[in-house]
Amino acid sequence: MEYFAGTYDVIVIGAGHAGIEACLASARLGCKTAVFTINLDWVGNMPCNPSIGGTSKGHLVREIDALGGEMGKAADKYTLQSRMLNLGKGPAVHSLRAQIDRREYSQGMKHTLELQENLDIRQGEIVDLYKTDNGMWQVKTKLEALFNAKAVIIATGTFLGGRVYIGDVSYESGPDGMFPATELAKALRKLNIPLRRFKTGTPSRVNRQSIDFSNLEEQDGDEETVPFSFDTAEPPKNKVCCHITYSNEKTKQIILDNLDRSPMYSGKIEGKGPRYCPSFEDKIVRFKDKERHQLFIEPCGLETEEMYLQGLSSSLPEDVQLAFIHTIAGLEHAQVMRSAYAIEYDCVDPTALNATLEFNSIDGLYGAGQFNGSSGYEEAAAQGLVAGINAALKIKGEESMILDRGGSYIGTLIDDLVTKGCTDPYRMMTSRSEYRLVLRQDNADVRLTPIGYKIGLISQERYDRFILKEEQVKAERERIENKSIPLTDTLQQIMQKCGTSPLERGCKMIELLKRPQITYKDLTEIDDDRPNLPKAVFEQVEIAVKYEGYIKRQEQQIKEMRRIECKKIPADIDYSSLKGLRLEAIEKLSKIRPENLGQASRISGVNPADIAALNIILETL
């Protein structure tokens, strides 16, 4: 029998990476919040891979932290191995990646939620969702408890209508053998929410004791590690070694011989899979001429023997998985503990949302994470944070937080989703940002901490430390601008050692640092009055000096972009009544409901002539 169980300001459905950030943000901003999860033992689970960060994803984690989110702090606490990727390239693409103890991370996140003021964490499957006569949202659990809320955030990950595929075997399931959320999908369809099917997958897990490490390449962490969180005092320590192996012609042949048994190729899986993280059989088909593929063997935690085979995602039958795994060096006798699987799930067409992640036509309902068509823990957490913040701000009657493309990767991610949509699971990449030299991971605090402080997620103590760092950067820049370096034999030796042309006279220190071959470290011997400052301060100064011209150019582009973004479009505008717009443009603009001219210009199917006509119309309104 149904019974009324309570009222909240915000209810979050799902306690994965999106749900965690959403409920914490809402509760920390003073809203009475509840988060519901099908299984409390799997809060913050990592069903795909036990790592956080990576190319562009590390940027997202840094930005989440700079705004006051939790993922970066937790990642630092439970890091097993830390590596900075792409150091051979420019600073725009340097990205931190950490191997994480997945069980410790999950337990730690659960405990963080349990300790959070204003937050109730509950095990329960939400089976229905609707608006009441008084305008409140009401959710219903499988145990027939009814809860009211002013706002609801859907963060269901891959649980919504989840179905697992392993060869010919198919069954309703969430990730890692958990229950799926089947009834909720029906409730969302009743609300006319545009759902579609996507697909993702995960590799096998094998027992460490059954791996032959003697012929595998070792992959150590960085000697000098860097934390994700700007608030982490001590950088994490490397505790494990990862390993690299390779597939071979035998591996390839087994897969090609059994493609007809893959549900992806037999047509049983209808959902679109991730373009940039394909299954292993998809790699073999796409790159038939490639003799081998690199694979990574990574630990799932310190207190488990489970090892993750990164790069071997598959939906082939279990017997085929065993056969091809045993052809790989080091895995000849591997004992598979968990078979790889593909999972198909329901998600929303994100163009039904606006930049706050609230539905355009459904007041008080928000979407976050894989429900919005994205892939990845980091993308999910970023959206959860934005949805949680905006739900709380709306309830408090305060102005929404909208991050634009020029200020963050999070803004780029959300703008891409709600403006352009996605036909397959969206993955963040540095190439998606046209302003990536400005949106580096090292300056995420400069870009976003003032916003987090204004909202109320950054403490005064942390903000004061941020201001101190800014003052140190400014003072150090002034010092090197004024410091004269005389021409000496020692200086010329440094020039020669660094492979740069010799000097004809002395110069300011800033002129030396402008040279791409020279770093602060190279100038230590002649920089006798260098202040004792954190490494991050020198990093900020050096990047700003070396890339000054490029950075100024991008900042000018951002300024122009924001000028166009300032041209707001009335929310109730009737595009069908406007003259000068093509039919396709009217259709796309009416569906997406862009908030400004800049967003309208990025909609596929809206051309420059439409924007020019719309601009003229807006001038007359």
pLDDT digits (tens, 9 = 90+) for 174-207: 999 999 999 999 999 999 999 999 999 899 999 9
Q: Which amino acid is at 560?
A: E
Candidates 177, 166, 241; CA nearest to 47 is 177
Rounded to whole angstroms, how far apart are CA atoms 330 and 83?
23
State the Rg of the chain over Cα. Answer: 26
Q: How many CA atoms lie within 13 A of 445 on its CB side?
A: 20
Asked whether 350 and 415 are in contact (CB, 8 A), the reply is: no
Span 510-536, mean pLDDT?
A: 95
pLDDT, tens digit, 9 for 90 and up, residues 282-305: 899 888 889 999 999 999 999 999
pLDDT of 37 > 90? The answer is yes
Q: Is 534 helix (H, G, I), strand (E, B) or coil?
A: coil
The strand pair at 294-299 and 365-367 is best described as: unpaired
What mean pLDDT value characterizes the chain?
Answer: 95
The separation between CA 341 and the C-alpha centre of its own chain, rounded to angstroms, equals 23
User: Which CA distances in Å does 281 have to 84, 164, 170, 262, 441?
Assistant: 29, 17, 18, 8, 34
> What are the percentages of helix, strand and coil residues in the chain, rounded to 5?
40, 20, 40
Rounded to whole angstroms, how far apart are CA atoms 95 and 98?
10
Q: Give every CB contact of residue 315 below 8 A, 6+ residues apart in sequence.
A: 165, 166, 167, 201, 262, 263, 264, 269, 279, 281, 340, 341, 342
Candidates 229, 203, 426; CA nearest to 334 is 203
Element spanning 66, H or E: helix 57-67
pLDDT, tens digit, 9 for 90 and up, residues 410-461: 999 999 999 999 999 999 999 999 999 999 999 999 999 999 999 999 999 9
Task: Scan for tokens 């050096």, then name that residue.
Answer: 542
Q: How confident is the model at residue 279, as a pLDDT?
A: 86
Q: How confident is the model at residue 392, as a pLDDT?
A: 98
Query: 3-state SS string over 198-234?
Result: EEEEECCEEEHHHCCCCCCEEECCCCCCCCCCCCCCC
Rounded to whole angstroms, how far apart are CA atoms 76 and 59?
15
Q: Is 79 helix (H, G, I), strand (E, B) or coil?
A: strand
- CA-based torsion, 531, 535, 536, 539: positive or negative: positive
* Encoded tokens for 263: 């549900």
Q: What is the DSSP string of 402-423?
A: ---TTT-HHHHHHHIIIII--S
Angle 579-620-571 from CA coordinates, rounded to 5° = 75
Rounded to whole angstroms, how far apart are CA atoms 262 and 265?
5
* Encoded tokens for 573: 């505008």
* Encoded tokens for 325: 């795994």
Counting residues of the chain whose pLDDT is more than 70, the rounded percentage is 99
Asked whether 194 and 352 are in contact (CB, 8 A), the reply is: yes
Q: Which amino acid is at 282?
A: D
Element spanning 342, H or E: strand 341-348
Instruction: Identify any residues that bridge with 204 across adjacent strands, giving them in sequence order.
Output: none
Describe the crossing of helices 57-67 and 377-395 by its angle, rounded to 10 degrees: 30
Between 421 and 264, the more confident residue is: 421
The strand pair at 163-166 and 169-172 is best described as: antiparallel
User: What b/e sequence results for 389-400 when a residue is b if at least 16 CB atoms lie within 10 Å of its CB, and e otherwise?
Assistant: bbbbbbbeeeeb
- CA-based torsion, 60, 66, 71, 77: positive or negative: positive
pLDDT of 565 > 90? The answer is no
Q: Is 250 helix (H, G, I), strand (E, B) or coil?
A: helix
* Encoded tokens for 471: 């003052």
Q: How confident is the model at residue 276, as a pLDDT?
A: 64
Span 234-251, mean pLDDT?
A: 96
- CA-based torsion, 543, 546, 548, 550: positive or negative: negative
Asked whether 185 and 161 are in contact (CB, 8 A), the reply is: yes
Span 586-590, mean pLDDT?
A: 92
Rounded to whole angstroms, how far apart are CA atoms 541 and 317?
54
Q: How confident is the model at residue 507, as a pLDDT?
A: 94
Candidates 277, 241, 234; CA nearest to 57 is 277
* pLDDT classification of 268: cutoffs 50, 70, 90: confident
pLDDT of 405 > 90? The answer is yes
The strand pair at 507-508 and 163-166 is best described as: unpaired
Span 251-276, mean pLDDT?
A: 82
Q: How confident is the model at residue 580, as a pLDDT?
A: 87
Q: Which of 64-73, 256-265, 307-316 bottoms out in mean pLDDT, i.e. has the lowest?
A: 256-265
Q: How confident is the model at residue 566, as a pLDDT?
A: 87
pLDDT of 335 > 70? The answer is yes
Describe the crossing of helices 444-455 and 460-482 by its angle, rounded to 10 degrees: 150
Q: How confident is the model at residue 272, as a pLDDT?
A: 72
Angle 236-240-245 from CA coordinates, rounded to 5° = 130
pLDDT of 318 > 90? The answer is yes
* Encoded tokens for 145: 């408890």
pLDDT, tens digit, 9 for 90 and up, residues 594-612: 999 999 999 988 998 899 8
* Encoded tokens for 424: 């397959």
pLDDT of 330 > 70? The answer is yes
Q: In what order do the strands lie in the sheet with 341-348?
A: 169-172, 163-166, 341-348, 195-202
Rounded to whole angstroms, how far apart are CA atoms 351 and 359?
9
Q: Which of 242-251, 256-265, 492-501 bottoms out in mean pLDDT, i.e. has the lowest?
A: 256-265
pLDDT of 306 > 70? The answer is yes
Task: Scan for tokens 């690299």, then name that residue.
Answer: 244
Rounded to whole angstroms, how far apart are CA atoms 347 and 345?
7
Q: How confident is the model at residue 338, as a pLDDT?
A: 96
Rounded to whole angstroms, how far apart are CA atoms 388 and 391?
5
Residues in the chain: 621
Report residue 536: phi and psi, to 5°.
-60, -30
Task: Scan for tokens 């045993």, then name that residue.
Answer: 326
Rounded to whole angstroms, how far apart are CA atoms 13 and 124?
9
Rounded to whole angstroms, how far apart are CA atoms 19 and 311?
27
